Structures are given as C-alpha cells and as structure tokens.
Amino acid sequence: SQLVQGQVEMDASGWILTDEECETSIPGVFAAGDVRKKSLRQVITGAADGAIAVFASGKYV
C-alpha cells in the first residue's frame, strides 16, 4: 500500500479504501487482498477480491 500512499484514499492504519468492486478513490485503480480495508483477512477473501477487481476493471478496457 505504500506504493499508492498519498494518491488513493486510505484509512489511518494505511489500509486502502475501496468500494464493493475493489475500486479505489481513483477511477480505474483497484486494490485487492491484504492491502484493502476489510474485516476478514484470509487467502480465499484475497482471491475473491482479485476476481471482483478483474471483472469490475472490464468497464475500463
């Protein structure tokens, strides 16, 4: 998450804030997995984030 610090919206702990489709405060920029603010940090939720982000990014290509 340090890569985008100061560019996308983050919480006080440094987690990247996203919408339900994993899109950040910058349109077309997505965050998935353990850099994203969420309540459960498991491998399966990270994989799900990736699938959601890929599907949602389709509107930009």
pTM of the full predicted structure? 0.87
Per-residue pLDDT tens for 39-48? 888 999 999 9
Host domain of residue 10? 2-60
CATH code, domain carrying 23: 3.50.50.60
Amino acid identity for residue 14 in this structure: G
Distance CA 12, CA 18 (A): 14
Percent of residues, the chain, with pLDDT higher than 70? 100
56-48-43-5 Cα dihedral, nearest 10 degrees: 20
* Number of domains into which the chain is organized: 1
Residue 41 has what pLDDT?
86
